[in-house]
Amino acid sequence: MTTAAPDDRSTVAARGQPTDTPASTTGAVVELDHVTKRYGPPGTPPAVNELSLTIPAGEICVLVGPSGCGKTTTMKMINRLVEPTSGRLTIDGRDVMQLSPVDLRRQIGYVIQQVGLFPHMTVGDNTGVVPRLLRWPEARIRERVEELLDLVGLEAAAYRDRYPSELSGGERQRVGVARALAADPPVMLMDEPFGAVDPIRRDRLQNEFLRLQSRVRKTIVFVTHDVDEAIKMADRIAILQRGGILAQYDTPDAILSHPANEFVERFVGADRGLKRLSLARVRDLELIRPVLVRAGTDRTDARRELQASAIGFALLVDDGGRPLGWIRDTDVDEQGPIDPEQATPGASLIEPETTLRDALSTMLASSVQLGAVVDQNERVVGLISVDQISEVLQSGNLPGSTDATG
Amino acid sequence: MPPGEPLLRPDWVVNNLDVIGERLAEHLGMTATAVGVGFVISFVLALLIRRRRALHATVVGAAGILYAIPSLALFAFLIPFSGISFVTAEIALVSYTLLILVRNILLGLDSVPSDVLEAADGMGYTSRQRLWRVELPIALPIIVAGLRIATVTTIGLVTVTSLIGQGGLGYLIVVAGINAFFPTAIYVGALLSVALAVAADALLLAVQRRLTPWSAARGETS
């Protein structure tokens, strides 16, 4: 996904779309209407109870809850690996019960925790499974496989002929995602897809997947038991409690700021205020204009600039505009040019994409409660302060939260 | 053994190459028939058991009893129905393959990981497509392992059918060798039988490796 080429080669022209949009079917609305699943006879407690959810097209809906809450059962009813006892499930208004399970499943991507790659097929054949079931011509399958492996960041020439046993866990997971996307389904079901990889690799796979999703815009039903993963991945979170009862269905921000009941409050954790900060990014804040002082400037000039500004610190920068450290007014009492050695180090670099949560911990770690925001060339573009973030926490309104997962 | 008779007379071997070749071919044919028919029956039985697990104990139990009956006794039971014939010999030989083959086919199918089955269902395989394109290919190394055991066992057993006028290389051992006090024929029959077993085993292994390159990629042999 980091090395993926834009997949605007083959089908875009045929569909007459502008070349800057992804060449794929975007999501469909998934609707659950009073869906119940009971494994025992009538009267036994249901696994999923009268569940109603509308998942807007192109969004990631995360089903989260403790074990036994029916989240996986709910997901599997969408592709009928589990048959609902009552209620209606529709995809773009079509009742899933009207299609044969086999036809339905070929139109829905499916990714599971253990990936379930077919050990006797190469990466290329695994990826082409659904197109082959749909009897696409071989040439088109080949082309599609190449496109998909590129999309998930695996070089087709190097990976196509390898067997799953020759791949790392992360690579297998990517092939699993490529296989699920193969027939360009509008809906994807993902059952704890990153549950089996270590935390560092999981974080990378999550970021890659979010980047991928921003291009393919599928409707994704994502099951996890990890609240942090839910907050990170979701456009909407459905929190289920034991017995398959929907406790709350809302955006991550709304769930963190206004938990519907005590169960949700306990489930998301006492640090939900802090968790909310990972929903907003530094670029959503209004940056403070910095006082920039180039190394070698005369101290008298620097003093004048510092006094004219409300902030007690100036940022010492090099000739390229990159931050070197902080300067206090006490540092510029004397005469002569400023010596970079004088600057207080710790002007840690914060990028516009950094989450407020990470920015806060960066700033708290430095002696100056300000952060220098830099562009990709490490040039200072502005400052943020700890005060700004605590204001966000107090106001209850997240800046730019509609785009928080991007 | 007549005094002065050598253990091996190369001139007899050279003069009788056509007879030896005929018996070798017969031996091979009887083995292939027995393992082939046995495999088809076992495959059907294994699929039936997969559909109804309750059949498992009955089928495997019956195959086990067949396997335990001494071959001489089995011939005795069968002769009233099918006579002293090729059919009688084959019925016995086929019976002995069932236990090994049914068990290995089931073992192979059961070895398919559950996440692979779930993925196959989720991708939209029909149950028949899942069986032929996913389960059987993955089960193949274990199924072939069963075929190898059945083949080697059958090659040994074919010699016994010489007692009812069949026998392939067994004819050389029993009729030309033991009955005529002629050790050369015994040696030739026994050596060729062993060589045939080793060759068949190696051939099946080679075929399996060829068909399952992915299992070699994982560092497995069978």
For the entire predicted model, the pTM comes to 0.77
| A370-374: strand order across its sheet | A349-350, A370-374, A380-385
**What band does B179 get if pLDDT is binned at 50, 70 and 90?**
confident
Whether the pLDDT of residue B222 is over 60: the answer is: no
Q: How far apart are CA A289 and CA A308, in angstroms?
A: 12
Distance CA A65, CA A267 (A): 8
pLDDT tens figures, A125-134: 999 999 999 9
B208 touches chain A (CB under 8 A): no
Comparing CB atoms, the residue among B119, B121, B212 nearest residue A120 is B212
Considering only CB atoms, which chain A residues are within 8 Å of B129?
Answer: 133
B113 touches A: beta carbon within 8 Å: yes
DSSP notation for A257-281: HS-SSHHHHHHH-TTHHHHHGGGSB
Contact A352, A283 (CB under 8 A): yes
pLDDT bin (cut points 50, 70, 90) of residue B217 is low
Is any Cβ of chain A less than 8 angstroms from the Cβ of B119? yes
Rounded mean pLDDT, A228-256: 92
Residue A348: pLDDT band with limits 50, 70, 90: low
Say how many residues make up chain A: 406
Return the DSSP state at A288. Answer: B
Q: Which residue of B has its CA nearest to A117?
A: B116
B118 — contact with chain A (CB < 8 Å)?
A: yes
CA torsion B150-B151-B157-B159 (nearest 10°) is 180
CB pairs under 8 A between A and B: 76
CB A261: neighbour CB atoms within 10 A?
A: 12
What value of ipTM does the predicted structure carry?
0.82
Taking the C-alpha atoms of residue A159 and residue A146, their distance in angstroms, rounded to an integer, is 10
Of A102, A116, A162, the CB nearest to B115: A116
Assess A163–B contact: CB distance below 8 Å, yes or no.
yes
B111 touches chain A (CB under 8 A): no
Q: Which residues contact A18 (CB under 8 A, 6 or more apart)?
A: none
- In the three-class reduction of DSSP (H, G, I as helix; E, B as strand; rest coil), residue B125 is classed as coil
Mutate to test the interface with A, among B123, B132, B138 (most CBs of A within 10 A): B123
Q: Which of residues 2-31 of A touch B (CB under 8 A)?
A: none
* A363 token code pair: 């700033």
**Residues B46, B44: Cα–Cα separation, whole Å:** 5
Residues 6+ apart with CB under 8 A from B140: A120, B108, B208, B211, B212
How near does any CA of chain A get to the CA of B124, in Å?
Answer: 5
Domain map (residue ranges) of chain A? 11-107+185-279, 284-395
CA gap A209, A109 in Å, rounded = 14
A11-107+185-279 homologous superfamily: P-loop containing nucleotide triphosphate hydrolases (3.40.50.300)
Which residues 179-198 on chain A approach chain B with CB closer than 8 angstroms? 179, 189
Q: Which pLDDT band holds residue B43 (cuts at 50, 70, 90)?
A: very high
In chain B, what are the domains? 10-217 (1.10.3720.10)
Mean local confidence (pLDDT), B165-188:
77
CB of B121 within 8 Å of any CB in chain A?
Answer: yes
Residues of A in contact with B119 (CB under 8 A): 110, 112, 115-118
Which residues make beta-bridge pairs with A337?
A298
Surface of B (43-102) touching A: CB under 8 A: none
- Give the 3-state secondary structure of B79-95: HHHHCCCHHHHHHHHHH
Pairing state of beta strands A370-374 and A380-385?
Answer: antiparallel
pLDDT band of A22, cuts 50, 70, 90 = very low
Q: Cβ(A159)–Cβ(A123) under 8 Å? A: yes
Residue of A71, A55, A11 whose CA lies nearest to A188: A55
Please tell me which of the candidates B119, B123, B217 has its beta carbon nearest to residue A133: B123
Instruction: Specify the pLDDT at position A118.
Output: 95
**Chain A CB contacts of B218 below 8 Å:** 119, 163, 165
Angle at B132 between CA B126 and CA B133, to 5 degrees: 80
- HSE, side-chain direction, 13 A CA sphere, residue A348: 18
Find the CB nearest B124 among A116, A130, A189. A130
> Which residues have C-beta within 8 Å of that of residue A297, sequence separation ≥ 6?
A337, A338
- Mean pLDDT over B129-150 rounds to 95
Nearest to B152 by CA among B186, B198, B190: B198
Nearest chain A Cα distance for residue B139, angstroms: 10
Q: Which fold would CATH assign to domain A284-395?
A: CBS-domain (3.10.580)
Q: Identify which of A105, A184, A173, A96 has the alpha carbon closest to the alpha carbon of residue A147.
A: A184
CA pair distance A326, A372, nearest whole angstrom: 10
Collapsing DSSP to helix, strand or coil, A162 comes out as: coil
Q: Which residue has the higher pLDDT, A1 or B215?
A: B215
> Which of A26, A25, A18, A21 has its CA nearest to residue A7?
A21
Q: Is A11 exposed, middle or buried (0-12, 13-18, 19+ CB in 10 A)?
A: middle
- A79 near B CB under 8 A: yes
